[in-house]
Chain A
């Protein structure tokens, strides 16, 4: 199957080049056949990359060790599921996955556009094909997943044990779906610039893709955090690691973009800003892939030896130069006649929001590349750790939570002071009350008090929006439940967005609690002894040694008591893997975790000796589960926002946010 895979990739590359050229020539000459042929190319590319992907999976599943990629990432002891997920364990396989996901997106977009072709459509298609060309060059000529070994190995190196985890199995895929999805709005923006069609078409056509990408970036980030929490054994879930930052950066700018496009839709403003923002978001998604894949973060010297790093740098340079050249070329055409009605308006709140997200992105970007810059200039890497990122991003995050509460309360265009006082009164009272109660209860950590109070403020505003809207509907005779359902279904974007905000507030509460109030303990105990942490008593019973095909393991038996009541058993492990793994890590700790909504008890077996004396590190992390629960709420809100609405006739499209209806009842 390797020949099939290789030929498929080479053919995909050739026809992608044809597709890009045919789109442009077809648009310029208005040649219908050429344009239709280029559209067929999109589907053909997707089929070819499907064949290539299936071929590689076939090689992994059947352990074809004549393939270098299989020999490096699989082994005979690897469970079947991880043989499949090894597709994205290594560089060549993950690049193939990138290409395949992008080809699916391209096929869908090209097909949808072909039903109602606009003047910008061929240029959108050409942009998509151009991005595909870059990644196909990498897997066709630089880092082929089907590279053969001179001899067929008898055994493979196996998959890194820390990657053999359900969360790590799906985290890269969800992140890639998000990363790759950002290509679509970028392509629409370039299509608008190239064709000169600078109305809102590009925004309307790409809006669902932006939401979809953002949703999967969010899921990918949370899954990655969950994996880090369970597998890396340091008690936390986010360390401002460069690879984490690489995924966080496009999420920040994508979130800003999601808000600023509303201003363009409502007021026709920020046209230039939105095109710049989508370009930056796409650049950051490519930059993130570059950071993760090129080896540049571990060392500039690794980068110099990396075979794909220079290609990524060249591609990034081309994207930025070309995009900004087009933006400057169309600069005057992107101006707006619209006006700001008032500084106290939702538009202002959104603009502040954008500036803060961009500020956060800039500081994270700077902190991420700082070691690279210092090593390149001084020959010595100067590391930037969590204190820098936290010092800058925590205040920004708190202001963003405040704006999250302010946004729903003020209207578009103009908000009067009297109106603001009426709308803000209860949320502000509840926010202040929260801080008073926390201080009275003994809390003294200022950051936590501010964070909880702002979350209370933001949640109050969101819930009041639901209550007010439902009451208005119910006052016309609908029962409350039906009124609530119709309120959400008739205004999915608004109320789906509010649900997302609820999820974000829950996540922030979880992050605040688990960051500020974490309790740690290190205890060296003999069998039969116990140690305390928080309200828990951990009794150490014994150590077990065991062995299987993959590893030699040591498991500790712990009994957990809470206020003298036995509540469960925990079994942290320390394992030595028999096969090397592709990162030469052969030791691994299995965290023991007891998770409730109130707190997580997290125990690691650090060390032990032959007499059975063991050293444990324990963390009591309050409300970590709120982070994962908040993520589910965010996902629910995103689904509501993306849920399709029946197509309205054009003359009714502006009326869906109106107050009246056929039967005279209020429709909100």
Chain B
């Protein structure tokens, strides 16, 4: 009885492991990295820039959160936030250059991305718009 059990186990395991060789698989990409619509040349650069952009946005939100809890003075908050928005603008500009999407100006892009989060009070949104105008003036 035990030997029958062992035989069944060995057979079952072998079939299970070999099963993928005998079944048709879909044509979807093997790895997630292959799924993105990047050109081969710019694939890794764009992905890194996108990740960098998200990190900077995360940093801005963290600064806003700490300021709300009183851990940053108004001066520190303003200084840090401005510097991260400025860096975010540079990253978005690079993304635009690589992906050739120029129908939005850089500042409009930042504003749209932050607005899309739907997490911003009107007070903060006004603050961001002011910041964006400032950078547009500087750029001009």
* B74: min CB distance to chain A, Å: 10
The answer, yes or no, to whether B38 is at the interface (CB within 8 Å) is no
Residues of B within 8 A of A409 (CB): 71
Q: Choose from A200, A419, A653 the contact partner of B71 (Cβ within 8 Å).
A: A419
Asked whether, in the complex, the Cβ of B119 is within 8 Å of the Cβ of A660, the reply is: yes
The answer, yes or no, to whether B62 is at the interface (CB within 8 Å) is yes
Asked whether, in the complex, the Cβ of B9 is within 8 Å of the Cβ of A659, the reply is: no
Asked whether, in the complex, the Cβ of A412 is within 8 Å of the Cβ of B62, the reply is: yes
Residues of B within 8 A of A668 (CB): 65, 68-69
The answer, yes or no, to whether A644 is at the interface (CB within 8 Å) is no
Asked whether, in the complex, the Cβ of B65 is within 8 Å of the Cβ of A657, the reply is: yes
Residues of A within 8 A of B33 (CB): 118-119, 197
Residues of A within 8 A of B125 (CB): 660
Asked whether, in the complex, the Cβ of B58 is within 8 Å of the Cβ of A266, the reply is: yes
Distance between Cα atoms of A341 and B68 in the complex (Å): 19
Residues of B within 8 A of A414 (CB): 72, 76, 80
The answer, yes or no, to whether B129 is at the interface (CB within 8 Å) is no
* A656: min CB distance to chain B, Å: 8
Which of B60, B119, B125 has most A Cβ within 10 Å? B119
Distance between Cα atoms of A268 and B70 in the complex (Å): 25
Residues of B within 8 A of A1 (CB): 2
Residues of A within 8 A of B10 (CB): 7, 11
Asked whether, in the complex, the Cβ of A653 is within 8 Å of the Cβ of B59, the reply is: no
Binds B, one of A27-35, A82-90, A181-189: A27-35
Asked whether, in the complex, the Cβ of A412 is within 8 Å of the Cβ of B68, the reply is: no
Asked whether, in the complex, the Cβ of B69 is within 8 Å of the Cβ of A341, the reply is: no
Asked whether, in the complex, the Cβ of A660 is within 8 Å of the Cβ of B13, the reply is: no
Asked whether, in the complex, the Cβ of A117 is within 8 Å of the Cβ of B30, the reply is: yes
| Main SS class of interface, A | helix
Interface residues of A in 635-662 (CB under 8 A from B): 650-662
The answer, yes or no, to whether B139 is at the interface (CB within 8 Å) is no
Asked whether, in the complex, the Cβ of B71 is within 8 Å of the Cβ of A423, the reply is: yes
Residues of A within 8 A of B118 (CB): 652, 655, 661-662
Asked whether, in the complex, the Cβ of A469 is within 8 Å of the Cβ of B16, the reply is: no
Residues of B within 8 A of A32 (CB): 20, 25, 30
* B17: min CB distance to chain A, Å: 5
Residues of A within 8 A of B6 (CB): 3-4, 7
Asked whether, in the complex, the Cβ of B62 is within 8 Å of the Cβ of A657, the reply is: yes
| CB nearest neighbor in A for B47 | A199
Which of A7, A116, A653 has most B Cβ within 10 Å? A7
Query: Could you give, for residues 63-84 of chain B, a 1 whenever the CB lies within 8 Å of some chain A CB and a 0 otherwise?
Result: 1111011111101100010000
Asked whether, in the complex, the Cβ of B9 is within 8 Å of the Cβ of A37, the reply is: no
| CB nearest neighbor in A for B58 | A654
Q: Choose from B55, B64, B69, B122 the contact partner of A469 (Cβ within 8 Å).
A: B69
Distance between Cα atoms of A658 and B47 in the complex (Å): 24
Query: Could you give, for residues 1-33 of chain B, a 1 whenever the CB lies within 8 Å of some chain A CB and a 0 otherwise?
Result: 011011001100100111111000100001111
* A29: min CB distance to chain B, Å: 11
Asked whether, in the complex, the Cβ of A654 is within 8 Å of the Cβ of B61, the reply is: yes
Q: Choose from A7, A43, A660 the contact partner of B16 (Cβ within 8 Å).
A: A43
Asked whether, in the complex, the Cβ of B2 is within 8 Å of the Cβ of A4, the reply is: yes
Distance between Cα atoms of A284 and B12 in the complex (Å): 37
Asked whether, in the complex, the Cβ of B17 is within 8 Å of the Cβ of A15, the reply is: yes
Asked whether, in the complex, the Cβ of A654 is within 8 Å of the Cβ of B25, the reply is: no
Distance between Cα atoms of A18 and B64 in the complex (Å): 52
The answer, yes or no, to whether B39 is at the interface (CB within 8 Å) is no
The answer, yes or no, to whether A413 is at the interface (CB within 8 Å) is yes
The answer, yes or no, to whether B113 is at the interface (CB within 8 Å) is yes
* A59: min CB distance to chain B, Å: 13
Distance between Cα atoms of A32 and B20 in the complex (Å): 9
Interface residues of A in 113-157 (CB under 8 A from B): 116-119, 121
Asked whether, in the complex, the Cβ of B73 is within 8 Å of the Cβ of A30, the reply is: no
Distance between Cα atoms of A650 and B51 in the complex (Å): 11
Asked whether, in the complex, the Cβ of A30 is within 8 Å of the Cβ of B66, the reply is: no
Q: Choose from A36, A116, A655 the contact partner of B20 (Cβ within 8 Å).
A: A36
Distance between Cα atoms of A35 and B6 in the complex (Å): 27
Q: Choose from A199, A472, A654 the contact partner of B69 (Cβ within 8 Å).
A: A472
Binds B, one of A44-52, A65-73, A440-448, A495-503: A44-52
The answer, yes or no, to whether B116 is at the interface (CB within 8 Å) is yes
Asked whether, in the complex, the Cβ of A423 is within 8 Å of the Cβ of B70, the reply is: yes
Q: Choose from A116, A465, A653, A666 the contact partner of B54 (Cβ within 8 Å).
A: A653
The answer, yes or no, to whether B137 is at the interface (CB within 8 Å) is no
Asked whether, in the complex, the Cβ of B117 is within 8 Å of the Cβ of A651, the reply is: yes
Distance between Cα atoms of A465 and B65 in the complex (Å): 12
Asked whether, in the complex, the Cβ of B2 is within 8 Å of the Cβ of A3, the reply is: yes
B residues adjacent to A (C-beta < 8 A): 2-3, 5-6, 9-10, 13, 16-21, 25, 30-33, 47-48, 51, 54-55, 57-66, 68-73, 75-76, 80, 113, 116-122, 124-125
4 extra interface residue pairs, beta carbon distance < 8 Å, beyond A40-B16, A412-B66: A11-B10, A37-B19, A118-B33, A657-B58
What are 17 A-B contacts defined by CB distance under 8 Å?
Answer: A3-B2, A3-B6, A30-B30, A33-B20, A37-B20, A41-B17, A51-B9, A118-B32, A412-B66, A415-B72, A419-B71, A656-B119, A657-B58, A659-B119, A659-B121, A664-B121, A667-B119
Q: Which 7 residue pairs across A and B have the least CB separation, nearest first?
A: A655-B117, A36-B20, A411-B66, A660-B120, A411-B71, A660-B121, A658-B119
